[in-house]
């Protein structure tokens, strides 16, 4: 078995191959809504992982791109889980003819280079390195999703079942886009996205307005009720889009509100759901009705009893590598790390490549960080106590 110094030197020799995989993944552009593109990417990754000697399983969905699981042989101790997603937010071609460009500063630009195809490339390097070292103590599992950016809406939340199949793992690393300074996320807010559709009674706004019941009026009333629930230190409510009516001369018979709720604790989710359902049912005019529909859900990422211990191991790994000692981050952004944390698995998130400006055309990642971040996770896994 290789010494750690030998293993780290071997990882350095894999930089070019890892960047090449990263390049291939980015050039296979995969917007969340493009099922065919995501299925193609899942197929490429499946072949790559099989070539690494891993067992694989694709998880197809009628509307969403396929998810993908891969695993090594079982070990004597509970498994290690690596997470990621390969759907991206920009339409194909948004970054030009070549969507993977490395500039003179060592930054790579393109759709998903940072969020989060660089993280997937790093995850494969971690697994290859552990196999190169002859590591068999724990099974290594990789779980990848095709509709994370839309909160699993296209799979009707079905894709999160992939994570539930990983229950019992000792630790999980979500290689989501990493902080530019190397800090790591250990807590995230959850998010509920819902639509309230109001149905009124249409009428001519000039000849017989009294015969109408305005859906827009009732929707406006509900917007005020919903946003009045906001507590900036706790759960926040945002009515981000409202649509209704056909013109100023018609009392509108339909209007919809798109609502996003952000909550700190998963126990707050049920409270938010009940509040929105009650507001949908409360209509000032008896001729008006309203329907509530949950569209998407991200649970909150809450710490487990071992999260701090796992993070301490990660901090030590960073110091051994001569990197800055990271701090813990709590953020309002959501990720799939919530689902492993809900299973009681201590989880570190934002452990992928370092960069900035995800979800924008300025998105970039630091090329060298794909190896650096892989080394941090690699040493953390090797330092994990047997009793963890």
Residue 368 CA: distances (Å) to CA of 29, 116, 326, 360: 22, 15, 18, 21
Alpha helix positions (H), the chain: 4-13, 15-27, 35-51, 118-132, 161-164, 215-227, 267-281, 307-320, 337-342, 369-383
Residue 296 CA: distances (Å) to CA of 147, 190, 245: 11, 11, 25
Residue 152 CA: distances (Å) to CA of 146, 158, 269: 8, 7, 17
Closest Cα partner for 329 from 176, 232, 188? 188
Per-residue pLDDT for 367 more than 90? yes
Per-residue pLDDT for 94 more than 90? yes
**End-of-domain residue from the set 298, 323, 340:** 298
CA atoms within 13 A on the CB side of 196: 33
The pLDDT value given to residue 68: 97
The pLDDT value given to residue 249: 95
Task: For residue 225, give the 3-state DSSP assignment.
Answer: helix
What's the rounded Cα separation, in Å, for the pair 69 and 59?
Answer: 8
Residues in contact with 386: Cβ distance below 8 Å, sequence separation at least 6, in sequence order: 77, 137
10 and 134 inside one domain: yes
The pLDDT value given to residue 191: 93
Q: Give a yes or no: residue 77 inside a domain.
A: yes
360 and 349 inside one domain: yes
Tell me, what CATH number does 135's domain have? Answer: 3.40.630.10
What's the rounded Cα separation, in Å, for the pair 378 and 317?
Answer: 9
| Tally of domains in the chain | 2
113 and 19 inside one domain: yes
Per-residue pLDDT for 18 more than 90? yes
Domain limits for position 169 = 4-188+300-383
Per-residue pLDDT for 332 more than 80? yes
40 and 173 inside one domain: yes
Closest Cα partner for 44 from 28, 55, 33, 59? 28
What's the rounded Cα separation, in Å, for the pair 316 and 60?
Answer: 39
- Contact in structure between 278 and 294 (CB atoms under 8 Å): no
Each residue of 185-216: pLDDT tens digit?
A: 999 999 999 999 999 999 999 999 999 999 99
DSSP 23-75: HHHHHS--BTT-HHHHHHHHHHHHHHHHHTT-EEEEE--SSSPPEEEEE----
Mean per-residue pLDDT for 130-138? 96
* Angle, helices 307-320/369-383, rounded to nearest 10 degrees: 120
Tell me, what CATH number does 293's domain have? Answer: 3.30.70.360
The pLDDT value given to residue 65: 97
What's the rounded Cα separation, in Å, for the pair 20 and 118?
Answer: 11
37 and 153 inside one domain: yes
177 and 34 inside one domain: yes
Q: What percent of the chain has pLDDT over 90?
A: 94
What's the rounded Cα separation, in Å, for the pair 59 and 24?
Answer: 22
Q: ∠ at Cα 78 (74, 84), nearest 5°?
A: 85
109 and 256 inside one domain: no
195 and 184 inside one domain: no
Reported as a pLDDT band with limits 50, 70 and 90, residue 157 is confident
The pLDDT value given to residue 165: 83
Please tell me the pTM assigned to this model. Answer: 0.90
276 and 330 inside one domain: no
Per-residue pLDDT for 1 more than 80? no
The pLDDT value given to residue 151: 87
User: The tokens of 79 are what?
Assistant: 């498994």
Long-range contacts of 284-290 (CB under 8 A, 24+ apart): 284/218, 284/221, 285/200, 285/213, 285/218, 287/200, 287/201, 287/213, 288/198, 288/199, 288/200, 288/201, 288/213, 288/215, 288/218, 289/198, 289/199, 290/196, 290/197, 290/198, 290/199, 290/218, 290/222
35 and 167 inside one domain: yes
**End-of-domain residue from the set 258, 275, 298:** 298
Each residue of 37-57: pLDDT tens digit?
A: 999 999 999 999 999 999 999
What's the rounded Cα separation, in Å, for the pair 51 and 106?
Answer: 29
């Amino acid at each position: 078995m290789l010494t750690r110094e030998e293993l780290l030197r071997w990882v350095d020799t894999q930089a070019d191959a890892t960047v090449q995989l990263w390049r291939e993944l980015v050039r296979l552009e995969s917007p969340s809504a493009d099922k065919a593109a995501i299925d193609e990417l899942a197929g490429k990754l499946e072949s790559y992982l099989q070539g690494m000697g891993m067992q694989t399983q694709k998880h197809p969905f009628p509307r969403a791109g396929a998810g993908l699981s891969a695993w090594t042989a079982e070990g004597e101790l509970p498994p290690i889980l690596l997470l990621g997603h390969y759907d991206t937010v920009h339409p194909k071609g948004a970054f030009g003819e070549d969507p993977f460009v490395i500039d003179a500063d060592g930054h790579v630009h393109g759709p998903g280079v940072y969020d989060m195809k660089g993280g997937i490339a790093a995850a494969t390097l971690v697994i290859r390195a552990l196999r190169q070292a002859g590591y068999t103590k724990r099974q290594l599992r990789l779980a990848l999703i095709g509709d994370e950016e839309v909160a699993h809406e296209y799979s009707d939340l079905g894709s999160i079942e992939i994570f539930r199949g990983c229950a019992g793992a000792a630790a999980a690393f979500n290689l989501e886009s990493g902080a530019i300074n190397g800090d790591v996320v250990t807590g995230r807010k959850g998010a509920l996205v819902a639509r309230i559709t109001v149905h009124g009674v249409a009428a001519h706004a000039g000849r017989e307005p009294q015969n109408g019941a305005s859906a827009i009026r009732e929707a406006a009333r509900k917007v005020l009720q919903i946003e009045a629930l906001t507590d900036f230190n706790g759960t926040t409510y945002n009515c981000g889009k409202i649509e209704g009516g056909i013109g100023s001369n018609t009392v509108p018979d339909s209007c919809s509100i798109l609502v996003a709720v952000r909550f700190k604790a998963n126990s707050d989710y049920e409270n938010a759901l009940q509040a929105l359902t009650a507001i949908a049912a409360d209509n000032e005019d008896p001729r008006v009705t309203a329907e509530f529909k949950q569209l998407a859900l991200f649970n909150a990422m809450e710490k487990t009893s071992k999260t701090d211990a796992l993070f301490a191991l990660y901090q030590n790994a960073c110091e051994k590598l001569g990197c800055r000692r990271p701090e813990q981050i709590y953020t309002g952004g959501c990720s799939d790390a919530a689902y492993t944390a809900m299973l009681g698995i201590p989880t570190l998130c934002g452990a992928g490549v370092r960069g900035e400006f995800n979800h924008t055309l300025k998105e970039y990642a630091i090329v060298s960080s794909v190896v650096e971040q892989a080394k941090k996770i690699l040493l953390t896994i090797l330092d994990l106590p047997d009793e963890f």
